Structures are given as C-alpha cells and as structure tokens.
Amino acid sequence: MPVVTYISHDGAINEIEVASGTSVMQGAVDNMIDGIVAECGGSCSCATCHCYIDEAWLDKVPPASEMEKDMLECVLEPEDNSRLSCQITVTDELDGLVVKLPASQF
Amino acid sequence: MTEACCIVVGASHAGGQLAVSLRQQGWEGRILIIGDEPFLPYNRPPLSKTFLSGEKHIEDLLIRPEAQYEKVGIEFLLGQRVKSIDRNNKTVTLNKGETFAYDKLALTTGARVRPLAIAGSELKGVLYLRDISDVEHIRQFIGKGKKAVIVGGGYIGLETAAMLRKLGLQVTVLEAAERILNRVTAPQVSEFYTRVHREEGVQLETGVEIQGFVGQDRVEGVQCGDGTVYPADLVIIGIGVIPNTELAQAAGLEVENGIKVNEFCQTSDPDITAAGDCTNHFNGFYQRNLRLESVQNAMEQARVAAATLCDKPIEYNALPWFWSDQYDIKLQIAGLSSGYDELVIRGDQNGSRKFSAFYLSKGRVIAVDAINNPQDFMFGKQIITRKLLVDKAGLSDPEISLKDFLKK
Ligand SMILES: Cc1cc2nc3c(=O)[nH]c(=O)nc-3n(C[C@H](O)[C@H](O)[C@H](O)COP(=O)(O)OP(=O)(O)OC[C@H]3O[C@@H](n4cnc5c(N)ncnc54)[C@H](O)[C@@H]3O)c2cc1C
Ligand code: FES
C-alpha cells in the first residue's frame, strides 16, 4: 500500500499507509491525524483539508481543478504548493508522498 | 475502581466525531456508541447527491473504516435503539431491555423526517430521504422515463430532483409556498434555482396544495387542491425534519425545539452533553437560540461536547455554513440570512450560473449564498466574522476583489 507522510505544523511526523484510490484527506481522517478537519467530507466545498505538497512531489501530483484553485486562493496562509487534500487521490505513483499541514486547521 | 464509561447515543456525524474527539482529548475510559441504524457513521449529504446516482457505494460513504475505531478502542452497538435514560442510576436501557451504566452520556440522536400524513401516504412508492435504507427503497422505484414527484422545494428535494433528472426520470417538484427555498434564501436566489431546474427539464410548480396520493397498492398520482393530478411512479417527500428529543425529554432534560445546550454543549444535566441536529443552542454570533441542521454544526459541536466531557471546556462559536450540489452548480452558504434588511447581488443572476447574494443587516454582511463562486464564499466568511462595514457598490462589482475589503 502507498505510504503518505503527514507533517504537522509542530513538526510531528505520521507515516500512514493509504489505500490506492482513497484521498490524501481520507488517509488523515481515517487515522485521526489532527490538522485536517474535512468538514465537507471531500466535496471540495470547505477548504478545511488544506495542505502543502512537499516540493519534491509537486510535479507528480495531478493539477487542481478551477474550483479547487479558486478555493485555494482564499485559504489562510496560501502558498504555491497549497492543495486541498480531498482532491488528491493516492496512487502507486504517489507512494512516499509528503504533505505538510497548516497551523490554522488545528 | 472500574474504568469510566462514556456512552454515545446515535452513530452518525455527531456521534462518530464525538467519540474520536474524546480519544483525541485524552479520554482513557471506555467509549460505547449505540446507534439504531445498522451502519457505522456515514456521510449523509451524498445520499441526495452521488450516492443516489450510484457513483458512490456504501463503503465510500463511511466516514472512517471499522479498523480505525477498533484501533483507538471505540466500541459500537449497532441496530439497537436506546429506549430510556435513568439519570439517577446513570444507566441507559435498550429497546431489548439490556441496561448499560455510564459515567458520562452524549446525546447525538439527530433528526428524523417530518411525515406528511394525508390520504394515500401509506401507498407503496411514497418515500422519504434521510438514511441509506431510504435510498435503497428509492432505487427500487427509479428507472429511465419513470415519473417522479418531489414534494417540497427545499435543498434536499431540489438535489434529489437534479439527481433523478440525471438518471433520466421525468421530474416534477411541487412546493406549497409561493417560491422554492422560501425559508432559507432571498427571492432572487429562489428565482435563480427555479430557472435552472426548468432549464434542466424539471416541471416546477409553487403555491400547490397537496390533498393526497392516489393509487391502488402503488402510488399512481398526486392529487392537488385545484383538481390537478400529477401522475407519479414514485413520490419523494422532503418537507423538513423533526429533532429526536423524546429520549431527552422523558429523562427530564430541558427541551425546546431541540435539546437545550449551553455554549459548552452541556444539557441541563452536567454529566450529559448533546451535539448535532438534535440540539438547540444559544449562538453568540447571532445572539439568539438556534437549531442547525448541518454537518459542520454536528462535527463542531461534537468536538466541543467531547472537550467538556474531558474537563477541557472550549466554547462553541463557529459561523454556520452549508453547501448544496445541484447539476453543475455548487452552492456554498456562509452565515444565516434570516432578519436581513438588504440584499446585494454580485454577478449575473439572470443569465449565468455564477453569482453571489450578500445578505446585509444594518450595513454589515450577515450571510452569503455563493453560487459557483468559492472565492466569494471564502472571503465572505471572513467579512461576516469580522463584522466589517462594507461599501455596497464595491460588493456588487465582481471586478473588485473581496480580498480588498479584508485589507481595510
Ligand atoms: C439527503 C441529505 C442531504 C444532506 N446534505 C447536506 C449538505 O449538503 N450539507 C450539510 O451540511 N448537511 C447536509 N445534510 C444534513 C446533515 O446530514 C445533518 O445535519 C447531519 O447528518 C447531522 O448529524 P447528527 O449526527 O447530528 O444527526 P443524524 O445524522 O440525524 O444522526 C442521528 C443518528 O442517531 C440515531 N438515533 C436516534 N435516536 C436514537 C436512539 N434512541 N437510539 C439509538 N440511535 C438513535 C439515528 O437513527 C441516526 O442514525 C443532509 C441531510 C440529508 C438527509
Ligand atoms: S474536505 Fe472539504 S474541501 Fe476538502
């Protein structure tokens, strides 16, 4: 199973096995990782699943939809590597993915 | 001494989150969730959206998989209903007679559909939509070309109409009030959704008085006050919900259009908290009592209730928000619009499928309906919580970024 590493704003590291086909958000929620709230359950409506993609993985993650881009422009502390984790599906190609979680979702 | 036990009644958005939050906040004792549906907590919103259409399956709906609850020691008793609470002895009793002792109790009993008790409502094919089993019923009656009548033009009715159109049914929506979404949005937003549903081929009638359902064994039509009969292979009734408060009321807890809770989600018994659709709370932001029906409220109150049970109280003060997906339209609503004295429309409400409606009270924004406009929703939320006085001309001009309002 692909492994995704979640790094909290305080530096805590969680390496989690996430089944292919589920989202990066679901992997965090399933494992009760603080820092991803996911109020809308993954329907790209709330932006409480904001994360930062590690630079090394930026070109391997498929691009954001227009709706997601619009949402990302308004999150607290947006960065170029900002994404909504519910919109990223884990695949074998993403095995090893590293994401950082913003302080604002704790 | 035996280990402390927290019992949670109701296994849905609020109950599941409450149990998880208890663990996250350091509750070391036993946690037992008792729920009368046969499923682990699942996401309810897709029931009228992607689950109805068949894009999502039951496994996809679960909020968390079973193994994750096991890992942190959260126990479930599913398909069982709590019949009564004995606050003196601190026990709950199930329908089947079994009794469990609690140290702390959390009520997350949610809400049930409001029934429409009129002639013919017992006919096969007269259905509701609240849980998985309802969708399974609906599925038995749908098929290309079949005729569906939706009673009630609220969000759930309209979402269902959109999905059934997508599945190739002929759809009629009948609303008793003069406009759809009457209770929740401004007339301009109702007009917009009326136009969209008609463009998508839905027959939409307002001001309709429904007298009964006709048919032998299965429903065949909906009979209205003016004599019209709308033919129907199935009817879905969506006229609102009633909070499940009987259990709390019988136990002597304070109930008034929901189980009364304070800002810490505590009921009138300090060992009992409540969260989600079943509660009525005093909202600090709007300065009045509210009973909300949203996932966000269920989750947020669950966190607050868990903190209270762990003696680490935090105050509930989230701005309500809600979403609705219909066709290619994502509606995001922040805040509550009731009591607004002015409406500002941003964008083209008549020709396009993208605009926002800002509800103002005394010059301040109290709510926004953002239609395919996530930026207006996100910035709108901040404008509301910061209680900014806004320039209306700027607000109505989509060329001016709302970000500029926040810089001031
Ligand atoms: C079709 C549909 C679409 C929706 N769409 C949206 C949306 O887009 N966005 C949004 O924010 N919200 C939406 N909602 C509302 C949202 O689903 C509710 O606000 C949410 O489910 C509330 O969660 P809850 O845990 O408080 O209550 P509920 O989900 O109602 O759960 C309560 C549970 O407790 C059980 N229970 C009750 N009494 C007992 C008892 N005595 N013993 C044992 N178990 C008991 C019930 O059977 C139920 O399983 C939608 C709802 C529906 C039905
Ligand atoms: S979970 Fe709501 S936008 Fe990702």
Nearest CA in chain A to B323: A45
Task: Give CA–CA dist B393/A15, Å, rounded.
Answer: 50
User: What integer pLDDT is reported at residue B408 of this predicted model?
Assistant: 61
Q: Chain A partners of B386 at a C-beta cutoff of 8 Å?
A: none
Residue A43, domain CATH? 3.10.20.30
Burial class from Cβ neighbours inside 10 Å (0-12, 13-18, 19+) for residue B88 reads: exposed
What tokens appear for B334 in the block? 């922040």
Instruction: Confirm if B123 and B217 have CB atoms less than 8 A apart.
Output: yes
Q: In what order do the strands lie in the sheet with B91-94?
A: B82-86, B91-94, B99-101
Regions of chain B short of the pLDDT cut 70? 1-2, 408
Kindly state the tokens that stand for A97: 């993915």
- Domain membership of residue A78 (yes or no) is yes
Asked if residue A75 belongs to a domain, the reply is: yes
CB pairs under 8 A between A and B: 57
The answer to whether the Cβ–Cβ distance between B330 and A46 falls below 8 Å is no
What is the total count of domains within chain A? 1
User: At CB < 8 A and 24+ separation, what contacts does A76-83 make?
Assistant: A76/A50, A76/A102, A76/A104, A77/A102, A77/A103, A77/A104, A79/A52, A81/A52, A81/A53, A81/A54, A81/A55, A82/A50, A82/A51, A82/A52, A83/A50, A83/A51, A83/A52, A83/A53
Neighbours of A60 (CB within 10 A): 12
B6, B20 in Cβ contact below 8 A?
A: no
List all residues whose CB is within 6 A of at least one atom of ligand 1: B 9-15, 34-37, 44-45, 47-48, 81-82, 108-111, 129-130, 156, 244, 247, 276-277, 293-296, 298, 322-324
Is A106 part of any domain? no
**Residue A91 placed within a domain:** yes
Which among B299, B323, B373 has CB closest to A45?
A: B323
Q: Which residues, 6+ apart, have CB-to-CB distance to B243 below 8 Å?
A: B109, B110, B111, B257, B258, B259, B277, B278, B279, B280, B291
> Of the candidates A31, A71, A73, which has its C-beta nearest B68's C-beta?
A31
pLDDT digits (tens, 9 = 90+) for A28-39: 998 888 889 898
Domain-located, residue A29: yes
pTM above the 0.90 mark? yes
User: What six digits make up the tokens of B201?
Assistant: 């081929």
User: Backbone phi, then psi, for B243, in 5-degree steps?
Assistant: -65, 145
Distance CA B261, CA B259 (A): 6
Nearest 5°: phi and psi at B199?
Answer: -60, -30
Within B62-175, residue ranges assigned H as helices are: 66-71, 132-141, 155-166
Measure the CA angle with vertex B24, ends B281 and B296; round to 5°: 35
In the prediction, which pLDDT does B401 show? 86
Cα gap B376→B381, rounded to integer Å: 8
- The range of the structural domain enclosing residue A85 comes to 3-100
> In chain A, which residue's Cα lies nearest the Cα of B299?
A39
User: Which ligand sits closest to the CA of A84?
Assistant: 2
Q: What torsion, rounded to 10 degrees, do the Cα atoms B155, B160, B165, B168 define?
A: 180
Helix axes B295-309, B13-24, angle to 10 degrees: 40
Question: Residue B2: its pLDDT value, please?
Answer: 66
Letter for the amino acid at A96? G
Distance from residue B228's CA to the centre of ligand 2 (Å): 44
3-state secondary structure of B7: strand
pLDDT at A106: 64
**B53-69: string of b/e by CB count within 10 Å (b at 16+)?**
eeeeeeebbbbbeeebb
- Looking at residue B31, its amino acid is I
How close B404 gets to chain A, by Cα (Å)? 12
Domain membership of residue A87 (yes or no) is yes
The closest alpha carbon to A28, from A72, A84, A71, belongs to A84
Residue A47 lies in a domain: yes
Geometric angle at alpha carbon B345, from B342 and B349, rounded to 5°: 135
Examine residue A105 and state whether it is found in any structural domain, yes or no: no
Write the ipTM. Answer: 0.85
Q: Which residues of B170-208 are buried (b: 16+ CB within 10 A; e: fewer)?
A: bbbbbbeeebbbeebbbeebbbbbbebbeebebebebeb
Mind listing the domains of chain B with CATH numbers?
5-112+242-309 (3.50.50.60), 126-237 (3.50.50.60), 328-407 (3.30.390.30)
* Token representation of residue B8: 């949670």
- C-alpha neighbours within 13 Å on the C-beta side of residue B265: 34
Q: How far is B50 from chain A (nearest CA, A)?
A: 10
Q: Residue ranges of the alpha helices (H) in B220-272? A: 246-250
* Stretches in chain A below the pLDDT threshold 70: 106
Q: How many residues does chain B have?
A: 408
List, for residues B122-133, the tens digit of each pLDDT value.
Answer: 999 999 999 999
CA dihedral sign, ordered B240, B245, B249, B253: negative
Kind of pairing between the strands at B321-326 and B111-113:
unpaired
Mutate to test the pocket of ligand 1, among B12, B33, B47 (most ligand atoms within 8 A of CB): B12
Tell how far the Cα of A37 is from the centroid of ligand 2, in angstroms: 8
Q: Is A89 on the interface with B (CB under 8 A)?
A: no
